[in-house]
């Protein structure tokens, strides 16, 4: 999921698929680090086979890659630093500790006896540590108190954490979770199994626009630019509630204006750190 920066005792997670890592068993003695602006597009870097993970720190995105000549050639547009701080596996495992999350305690599999929502750090955003994920979960719990809500669509599910939490909160709920990254969907499927929910949540890489039926609540924890791009489809798919997260506080005004939320009213707002989440009702 996320690589711990050896030079920072308490890194936090990036948003919009910034919380990503490929699980690895071998120890890494050295790796590349690159620093990019917070708003820099990162998708192409995630697709590089040597990509290890990323973190958000001090208003920037910190990217990590395997240290190999072939990787250096692919990253010739970036200024690379070489880190040598011991075993990757032990470093990133140290970061994942039991975390309160929407009434649950999120834990990685190696600490499964200490929590009730098991999320394996893998190639999918969401372990409950990042402010956006934690805030959107609290707003989701509020919306799910409405017993008229019978179905939920999680757009950009990543690790599947929000879909899993929703199903645990409301076992009667029909939950669908989608992501355009097959690796993330695979990670989500593994997490469903770890939580005893295999087969109880529909997982798909089908694009949002291909879904025909609406859902009582649509949840999307993605960067603001993607939320705006998908705004019409998100609204179209929502029957009662629309829950959006991944917006920086300084973007709040322009975001709500650009979303053009016709027929929705803002119910409540959640804030943690520099991030804000919105719960809208039709």
| Domain boundary assignment for the chain | 1-95, 99-281
For residue 116, the tally of other CB atoms under 10 A from its CB is 14
Is a pLDDT exceeding 90 seen at residue 151? yes
Residue 98's contacts (CB-CB under 8 Å, 6 or more residues apart) are: 105, 106, 107, 111, 114, 115
Q: Does domain 99-281 have CATH number 3.90.850.10?
A: no
- Please give the mean pLDDT across all residues of the chain: 82
Q: What pLDDT sits at residue 108? A: 85
Is a pLDDT exceeding 70 seen at residue 18? no
Q: What pLDDT sits at residue 24? A: 38
3-state secondary structure of 42: coil
Alpha-carbon distance of 139 to 271, in angstroms, equals 10
Q: What pLDDT sits at residue 59? A: 62
pTM: 0.72
3-state secondary structure of 172: coil
Q: What pLDDT sits at residue 196? A: 96
Is a pLDDT exceeding 60 seen at residue 182? yes
For residue 40, the tally of other CB atoms under 10 A from its CB is 11
Q: What pLDDT sits at residue 38? A: 76
């Amino acid at each position: 999921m996320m690589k711990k920066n050896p030079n920072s005792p308490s890194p936090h997670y990036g948003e919009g698929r910034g919380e990503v890592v490929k699980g690895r068993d071998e120890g890494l003695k050295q790796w590349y680090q690159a620093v990019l602006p917070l708003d820099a597009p990162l998708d192409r870097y995630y697709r590089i086979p040597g990509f290890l993970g990323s973190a958000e720190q001090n208003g920037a995105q910190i990217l990590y890659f395997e240290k190999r000549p072939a990787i250096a050639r692919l990253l010739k547009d970036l200024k690379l630093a070489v880190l040598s701080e011991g075993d990757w596996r032990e470093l990133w495992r140290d970061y994942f500790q039991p975390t309160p999350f929407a009434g649950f305690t999120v834990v990685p599999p190696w600490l499964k006896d200490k929590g009730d929502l098991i999320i394996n750090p893998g190639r999918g955003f969401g372990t409950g540590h990042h402010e956006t994920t934690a805030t959107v979960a609290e707003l989701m719990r509020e919306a799910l108190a409405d017993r008229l809500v019978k179905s939920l669509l999680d757009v950009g599910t990543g690790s599947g954490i929000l879909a899993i939490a929703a199903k645990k909160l409301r076992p009667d709920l029909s939950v669908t979770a989608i992501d355009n990254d097959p690796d993330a969907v695979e990670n989500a499927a593994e997490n469903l199994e770890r939580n005893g929910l295999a087969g109880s949540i529909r997982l798909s890489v089908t694009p949002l626009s291909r879904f025909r039926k609406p859902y009582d609540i649509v949840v999307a924890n993605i960067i603001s630019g993607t939320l705006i791009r998908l705004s019409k489809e998100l609204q179209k798919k929502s029957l009662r509630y629309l829950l959006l997260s991944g917006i920086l506080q300084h973007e709040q005004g322009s975001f709500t204006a650009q979303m053009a939320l016709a027929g929705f009213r803002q119910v409540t707002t959640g804030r943690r750190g520099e991030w804000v989440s919105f719960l809208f009702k039709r």
